[in-house]
């Protein structure tokens, strides 16, 4: 299950270390990968990188310098007050007298005896308690188990800590005890603030607000039979095949029967199978066992008969000695950890899966095999038919008979499934940016035969199953190229004032300081035909400067000098090779062309004060040793601004500048002598930190959980609390967000005022808002600041009656007259369309800027004014009187005490080599208007039956549910430990049905229930609802898994009366790629436009796909696994679609078509166009383990 993983460690296991602490000499844990590599190589022992750890994954540095990624399917560690610690389920008594596991992901406590809850489970601030009727005796504690003896005559009660929660088992010791009426109907009291309900297949769910917090698989019971009833001889005596029953698991020959579970007003009722309770051949003790978990494991089993097994303590393969069942087990390993650790695009040196064999039927080695399979479709029991064995990857042999029939008890045995085929499969996964990979284990041999051979029966410990991958990051192409300390331009030829220049670049490697690089520079004389004639071998390379060794990744390195002559043009590039044992060589950088001109005056630039963030001020110093220099020119794109030179030798000047970008900034400078001669260009390069937040922010929109008061409150505490006070505001339903309300200004007396906000408009500042204006003539200001008689700034709509309407940012130049300067948009403003408009005043640069949907224009401006006054929404101030009233709606208003830069709007990704190394979605990121993660969703056996056939709305889902059609199933989600929607157009075929169905989900509100029918059944009444305006910017996204690569398969769409406004699909007709399509009109004759992904879809692999319609750019974009994979300009505005959002179908030419076959998870739609960075951020968190 998704949601927060609980941590409850009272004790910290050895080997844990707080993140950031310096490790002791030769410790097993170091804070970072770099520290772990250094410690491992110096100590000759593996060292864990603490920063890489999650409950399931970690990176371990090896003594030879390699990094090894480890991934498990059950929790291996948990956070404690002292940091990460390995899971330790050994129980200790706490101060309140209860027993708790030392280190666990589940916050569970067991009774110390007496009255009070038997078990207390806490998760996310919610509590579930289970109580035994009557007083509990003093317990006997052993390891992970607490036994309460004789709670009834010849009946013990055992509670046990598991890796995901707890189990409670009744141990019935005699036939007389089995005949006790209290055993035939076992009651537990339920308490806490969670509601417990029966789930699919007879399981239990503890829910809060419809979301599942903990769950229990269907309860079972088993006896202790260990011999065949026909002969009375133990099978173990002949071949050692049969393991024996315990309170934790059923033995191989145990009789297993279901336990009926019911939730009553007074608690939980378990009804053990009466036939087994009174069976004459039942072998005592009997065990009655439901197991509770706070999330699902990432492994599953399947049987050829479809028979189930609720004992999940072992993963089985082969023919069950006690039945005709043939078992396979499936494991889904994460390949990304969500904390910066991922195998995405890595070089895979080697890979193996390590399995710990618990028991084998054989006394000697027998074979097992590992296959590549689709992702798991259901946890814990997967479908035998769906989990196809697609590729044989490896075999291994082993034996570990624990029944005693081999002359001795054989210990557990490690079996490694490894080899070139396994490594190649992991390389395929890395190249495809898979978030996980699934393997299936069988009793087949390498030829695919012998799966029913009885002596190949095996049981593995699932908690010990691990994927080990030795990986390396190939060095990236160097960036930030410089010649003799001057940045290379994006195009053209750089001239330098020396005949012995050096080369310089930043050498990236994702392994960071854990690696060490060899930097290589290559240079040529540019041939007469230009760079277009340069190949990998021609022209001949000039003698390179010596390689630089020991280069720290992501740092700048400078070469030794080379010798050039004037009158010729040269070019160089760089690459790097990482350290052994991999010694991978990265790609070359781009070429940088340069030439020498020693006749020009020299110039240099250096930062005196580096800006602390983007949009903030710094100070730079220019110098030249040429004594006749009179001034300097400088700028960001080119050196155009001027400043007078001072001093004598050197000539110098200092100026304030504003950082224009996140991360790396480059400022250009030239010296100018008395006769007007320009120097060669110099540059100053610096990097800035993360951007500062707005000083005020008002949402101006309501939606579920956000009231009108919230919408007017200041959502940003950085500048203090400055709420808006509204006058005659209207709240318009569905103005921007379907299901929300947005503030409207009526052009009359409506306004909103922030009187408590202090704002100096002579210092750098910025303002921004989403606006939708009516088609009105004149000047209409939607954001301004009062200053006595005038507004010191105005964001406004201007329609002068001659030119098309424009967006403008205007700054006053006087406090008493209407004098002002304005910068206006080059493209017309569109009435009735939501548009993001922002204005900035940059004091250091002497400019005002206007931003429209992230695109900007600038104007020189140096005469701002300021005075005390309020920030006002909805009007301006002229001659002391309100004026320029707004007709339209406004949302998400923000005020900054700095200049805005491009990345503030469109965001950035940490992988960008020029970024500051962090992800930022940007303020153009839209709001989700529909979200379904399928946690708490229920399969659909009977359409619309109350509390079934539905998926709950997720965060930001506007209370829109998904109503599911008959046959839609809920199975494993994209991380295997959460839920997803599975569609196959067949009514539960694994349960023996053969009905064909139409399976999909649609967005709808719950409006009530029908009266009970003749069978007492109630049905949900649904009201279909759209989730998007498809004629405005919107985004659709989901995690999906294709069952096959045939046909046309829609994952999400929104329908109209005849067509769908937009839909995201897989298309075999497009060459097996992903496609995002929009329609122009809601008519069967409509034109359509599509964008198709550059990459092929993968079968059986969870993939994140997103489609974006960007109205401001008339553009469609498609993203696969967080990366943009296609762009297409369209000539029309898509149709408005008033029908429901469809998951798993689209509506085309009056028909539901393109059914999805496979799985869908984490569907989210947004009203607005997500940026590249925002889609990347949407994808990456969903690649991590649930917390």
Which region, left, alpha or beta, applies to residue 247 given φ > 0 means left and ψ of -120 to 50 means alpha?
Answer: alpha
* Distance from C-alpha of 770 to C-alpha of 504, rounded to nearest angstrom: 44
Strand-pairing partners, residue 109, are 120
pLDDT number for residue 201: 66
- Please give the average per-residue pLDDT across 56-73, as a whole number: 95
Q: Give the residue-averaged pLDDT of 785-798.
A: 96
Residue 178 to residue 185: CA distance in whole angstroms: 11
Lowest mean pLDDT among 278-292, 663-677, 1032-1046, 1069-1083: 278-292
Per-residue pLDDT, 99: 96
Instruction: Look over the chain and give the mean of its residue pLDDT values, rounded to a whole number.
Output: 91
Token code pair at residue 49: 């990188």
Asked if pLDDT for residue 6 goes beyond 60, the answer is no
Beta bridge partners of 589: none
- Alpha-carbon gap, residue 471 to 69, rounded angstroms: 7
Q: How far apart are CA 1104 and CA 1123, in angstroms?
A: 10
Q: Both tokens of residue 82? A: 């002292």
Quote the pLDDT of residue 22.
53
Q: Are 247 and 160 in contact (CB under 8 A)?
A: yes
Residues 803 and 749 in one domain: yes
pLDDT digits (tens, 9 = 90+) for 93-127: 999 999 999 999 989 999 999 999 999 999 888 89
Q: Are strands 592-596 and 493-496 parallel, antiparallel or unpaired?
A: parallel
690-744: pLDDT as tens digits: 999 999 999 999 988 889 999 999 998 665 789 999 999 999 999 999 999 999 9
Using pLDDT thresholds of 50, 70 and 90, give the confidence band for residue 244: confident
- What span, in angstroms and rounded, lies between the C-alpha atoms of 685 and 665? 6
Dist. CA 56–CA 298, nearest whole Å: 10
Residues 6 or more apart from 500 whose CB is under 8 A from it? 561, 562, 563, 564
Domain endpoint, select from 881, 900, 919: 900
CB 1022 within 8 A of CB 950: no
Residue 576, domain member (yes or no): yes
| Structure confidence at residue 915 as a pLDDT band (50, 70, 90) | confident
Q: What is the CA radius of gyration of the chain?
A: 34
Based on the fold, state whether residues 1082 and 958 are members of the same structural domain: yes
Supply the pLDDT for residue 1182. Answer: 42
What would the mean pLDDT of 311-338 be, rounded to a whole number?
91
**DSSP one-letter string for 246-285:** -SSS--TT--EEE-EEEEETTEEEEE--HHHHT-TTPPSP
Assigned domain for 20 exists = no
638 domain-assigned = no
Residue 616 covered by a domain: no
Which residue from 854, 826, 827 is spatially nearest to 840, judged by alpha carbons? Answer: 854
CATH of the domain at 427: 2.60.120
CATH number where 539 lies: 2.60.40.10
- Please tell me the total count of domains within the chain: 5
Same domain, 276 and 315: no
* pLDDT the model gives residue 661: 95
Is there a domain that residue 914 lies in? no
Question: Is 60 exceeded by the pLDDT of residue 889?
Answer: yes
Q: Residue 360: is its pLDDT beyond 80?
A: yes
Percent of the chain with pLDDT over 90: 78
C-alpha–C-alpha distance, residues 1050 and 1027, integer Å: 17
Residues 323 and 276 in one domain: no
Claim to verify: residue 432 and residue 451 sit in the same structural domain? yes
More confident residue, 9 or 456: 456
pLDDT band at 683 (very low <50, low <70, confident <90, very high): very high
Predicted pLDDT at 251? 77
- C-alpha distances out from residue 1096 to 345, 427, 1039, 1069, 1070, Å: 16, 17, 16, 12, 10
Question: Residue 239 has what pLDDT?
Answer: 44
**1122 vs 1117: CA distance, rounded Å:** 12
Q: What is the pLDDT of residue 312?
A: 83
In this structure, the number of other CB atoms found within 10 A of the CB of residue 1054 comes to 28
CATH number for the domain harbouring residue 861: 2.60.120.200
Residues 725 and 871 in one domain: yes
Question: Are both 287 and 306 inside the same structural domain?
Answer: no
Look up residue 888 and give its two tokens: 């339209």
pLDDT at 226 over 80: no
Do residues 882 and 935 share a domain? no
pLDDT at 912: 80
Q: Is residue 824 part of a domain?
A: yes
The four Cα atoms 562, 565, 569, 571 give a dihedral, to 10 degrees, of 0
pLDDT tens for 187-223 read 999 999 888 888 766 788 888 776 778 888 888 888 9
**What pLDDT does 380 receive?**
86
Is pLDDT of 1181 > 70? no
Give the whole-angstrom CA distance, residue 697 versus residue 707.
Answer: 15
End position of a domain, from candidates 472, 498, 530: 472
Check residue 327 and give its pLDDT.
97
Residues 966 and 894 in one domain: no
| Per-residue pLDDT, 615 | 97
Q: Given a cut of 60, is residue 284 above it in pLDDT?
A: yes
- Copy the structure tokens of residue 524: 């040529």
pLDDT at 428: 96
What's the confidence (pLDDT) of residue 920?
85
For the chain, the maximum distance between any two Cα atoms, rounded to a whole number of angstroms, is 114
Q: Are residues 326 and 269 in the same domain?
A: no
What was the pLDDT predicted at 976? 67
How large is the average pLDDT for residues 1114-1119?
Answer: 98
The answer to whether residues 288 and 314 belong to one domain is: no
The whole domain housing 271 covers: 106-219+259-293
Among 429, 448, 472, identify where a domain stops.
472
Within-domain flag for 94: no
On the question of pLDDT at 850 being above 90, the answer is yes
User: Please, are residues 671 and 714 in contact by the beta-carbon 8 Å criterion?
Assistant: no
1115 forms bridges with which residues in the sheet? Answer: 1110, 1129
**Band of pLDDT at residue 659, cut at 50, 70 and 90:** very high
496: in domain = yes
On the question of pLDDT at 551 being above 50, the answer is yes
SS3 of residue 430 by DSSP: helix
Q: Is the pLDDT of residue 256 over 90?
A: no
321 & 464 share domain: yes
Model pLDDT, residue 910: 78
Q: Please give the structure tokens belonging to residue 374.
A: 């689709």
Among candidate residues 1013, 1004, 1132, the one with its CA nearest the CA of residue 1062: 1132
């Amino acid at each position: 299950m998704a949601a927060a993983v609980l941590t409850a460690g009272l004790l910290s296991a050895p080997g844990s270390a707080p993140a950031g602490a310096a490790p002791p000499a030769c410790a097993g844990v170091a804070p970072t990968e770099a520290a772990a590599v250094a410690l491992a190589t110096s100590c000759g022992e593996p060292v864990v990188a603490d920063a890489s750890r999650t409950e399931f994954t970690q990176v371990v540095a090896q003594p030879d310098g390699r990094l090894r990624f480890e991934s498990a399917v059950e929790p291996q560690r948990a956070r404690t007050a002292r940091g990460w610690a390995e899971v330790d389920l050994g129980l200790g008594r706490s101060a309140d007298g209860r027993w708790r596991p030392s280190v666990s992901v589940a916050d569970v406590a067991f009774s110390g005896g007496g009255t009070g809850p038997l078990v207390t489970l806490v998760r996310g601030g919610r509590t579930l308690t289970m109580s035994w009727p009557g007083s509990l005796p003093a317990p006997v504690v052993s390891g992970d188990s607490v036994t309460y003896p004789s709670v009834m005559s010849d009946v013990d009660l055992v509670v046990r800590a598991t890796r995901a929660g707890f189990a409670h088992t009744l141990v019935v010791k005699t036939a007389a005890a089995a005949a006790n009426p209290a055993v035939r109907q076992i009651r537990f009291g339920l308490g806490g603030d969670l509601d417990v309900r029966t789930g699919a297949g007879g399981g239990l769910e503890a829910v809060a607000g419809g979301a599942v917090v903990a769950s229990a698989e269907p309860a079972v019971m088993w006896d202790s039979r260990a011999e065949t009833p026909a002969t009375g001889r133990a099978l173990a005596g002949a071949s050692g095949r049969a393991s024996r029953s315990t309170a934790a698991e059923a033995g191989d020959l145990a009789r297993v029967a279901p336990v009926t579970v019911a939730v009553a007003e007074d608690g939980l009722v378990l009804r053990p199978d009466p036939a087994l309770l009174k069976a004459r051949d039942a072998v005592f003790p009997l065990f009655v066992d439901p197991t509770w978990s706070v999330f699902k494991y990432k492994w599953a089993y399947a049987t050829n008969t479809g028979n189930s097994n609720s004992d999940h303590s072992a993963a089985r393969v082969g023919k069950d000695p006690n039945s005709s069942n043939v078992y396979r087990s499936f494991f889904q390993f994460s390949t990304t950890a969500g904390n910066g650790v991922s195998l995405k695009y890595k070089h895979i040196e080697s890979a193996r899966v390590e399995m710990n064999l618990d028991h084998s039927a054989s006394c000697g080695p027998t074979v097992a095999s590992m296959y590549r399979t689709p992702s798991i479709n259901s946890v814990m029991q997967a479908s035998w038919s769906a989990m196809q064995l697609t590729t044989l990857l490896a075999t291994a042999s082993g034996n570990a008979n624990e029944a005693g029939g081999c002359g001795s008890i054989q210990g557990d045995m490690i079996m490694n499934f490894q080899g070139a085929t396994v490594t190649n499969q992991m390389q395929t996964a890395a190249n495809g940016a898979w978030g996980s990979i699934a393997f299936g284990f069988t009793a087949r041999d390498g030829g695919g035969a012998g799966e029913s051979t009885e002596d190949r029966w095996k049981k593995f410990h699932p908690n010990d199953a691990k994927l080990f991958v030795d990986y390396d990051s190939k060095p990236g192409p160097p960036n930030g190229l410089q010649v003799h300390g001057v940045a290379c331009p994006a195009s053209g030829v750089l001239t330098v004032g020396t005949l012995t220049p050096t080369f310089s670049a930043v050498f990236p490697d994702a392994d960071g300081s854990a690696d060490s690089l060899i930097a290589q520079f290559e240079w040529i004389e540019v041939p007469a035909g230009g760079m277009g004639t340069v190949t990998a071998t021609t022209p001949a390379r000039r003698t390179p400067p010596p390689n630089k060794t020991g280069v720290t990744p992501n740092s700048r390195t400078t070469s030794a000098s080379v010798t050039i002559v004037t009158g010729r043009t040269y070019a160089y590039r760089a690459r790097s090779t990482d350290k052994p044992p991999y010694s991978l060589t990265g790609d070359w950088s781009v070429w940088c062309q340069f030439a020498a001109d020693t006749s020009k005056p020299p110039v240099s630039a250096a930062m005196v004060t580096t800006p602390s963030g983007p949009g903030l001020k710094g100070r730079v110093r220019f110098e030249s040793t040429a004594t006749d220099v009179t001034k300097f020119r400088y700028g960001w794109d080119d050196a155009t601004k001027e400043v007078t030179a001072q001093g004598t030798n050197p000539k110098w000047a200092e100026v304030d500048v504003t950082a224009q970008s996140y991360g790396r900034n480059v400022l250009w400078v030239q010296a100018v002598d008395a006769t007007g001669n320009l120097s060669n260009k110099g540059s100053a390069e610096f990097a800035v930190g993360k951007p500062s937040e707005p000083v005020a922010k008002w949402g101006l929109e309501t939606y579920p959980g956000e009231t009108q008061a919230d919408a007017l409150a200041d959502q940003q505490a950085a500048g203090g609390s400055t709420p808006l006070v509204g006058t005659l505001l209207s709240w318009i339903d569905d103005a921007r967000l379907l299901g929300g309300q947005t503030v409207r200004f009526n052009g009359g007396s409506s306004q909103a005022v922030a009187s408590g906000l202090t704002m100096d408009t002579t210092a750098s500042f910025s303002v921004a808002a989403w606006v939708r204006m009516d088609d009105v003539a004149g000047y209409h200001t939607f954001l301004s600041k009062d200053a006595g008689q005038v507004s010191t700034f105005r964001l406004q709509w201007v329609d002068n009656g001659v030119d098309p309407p424009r967006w403008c940012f205007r700054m006053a130049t006087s406090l008493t007259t209407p004098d002002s300067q304005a910068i206006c948009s080059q493209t017309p403003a569109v009435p009735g369309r939501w548009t993001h408009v922002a204005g900035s005043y940059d004091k250091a640069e002497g400019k005002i800027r206007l931003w429209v949907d992230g695109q900007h224009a600038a104007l020189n401006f140096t005469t701002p004014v300021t005075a005390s006054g309020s920030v006002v929404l909805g009007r301006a101030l002229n001659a002391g009187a309100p004026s320029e009233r707004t007709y339209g709606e406004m949302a998400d208003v923000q005020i900054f005490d700095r200049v805005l830069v491009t990345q503030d709007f469109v965001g950035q990704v940490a992988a960008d080599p020029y970024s500051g190394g962090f992800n930022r979605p940007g303020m153009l990121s839209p709001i989700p208007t529909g979200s379904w993660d399928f946690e708490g969703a229920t399969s659909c056996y009977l359409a619309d039956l109350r509390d079934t056939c539905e998926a709950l709305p997720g965060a930001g889902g506007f209370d829109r549910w998904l109503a599911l059609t008959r046959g839609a199933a809920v199975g494993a989600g994209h991380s295997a430990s959460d839920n997803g929607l599975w569609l196959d157009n067949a009514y539960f075929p694994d349960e023996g049905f053969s009905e064909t169905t139409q399976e999909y989900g649609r967005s709808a509100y719950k409006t009530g229930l029908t009266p009970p029918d003749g069978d007492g059944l109630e049905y949900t009444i649904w009201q279909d609802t759209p989730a998007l305006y498809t004629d405005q910017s919107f985004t659709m996204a989901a995690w999906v898994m294709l069952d096959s690569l045939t046909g046309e398969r829609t994952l999400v769409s929104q329908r109209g009366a005849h067509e769908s406004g937009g839909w995201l699909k897989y298309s075999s007709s497009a060459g097996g790629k992903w496609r995002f399509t929009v329609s122009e009109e809601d008519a069967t004759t409509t034109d359509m436009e599509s964008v198709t992904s550059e990459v092929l879809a993968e079968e059986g692999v969870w993939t994140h796909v997103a489609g974006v319609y960007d109205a401001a750019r008339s553009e469609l974009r498609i993203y696969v696994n967080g990366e943009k994979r296609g762009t297409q300009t369209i000539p029309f505005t898509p149709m408005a679609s008033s029908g429901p959002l469809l998951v798993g179908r689209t509506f085309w030419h009056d028909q539901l078509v393109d059914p999805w076959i496979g799985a869908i998870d984490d569907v989210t739609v947004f009203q607005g166009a997500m940026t590249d960075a925002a889609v990347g951020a949407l994808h990456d968190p969903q690649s991590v383990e649930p917390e």
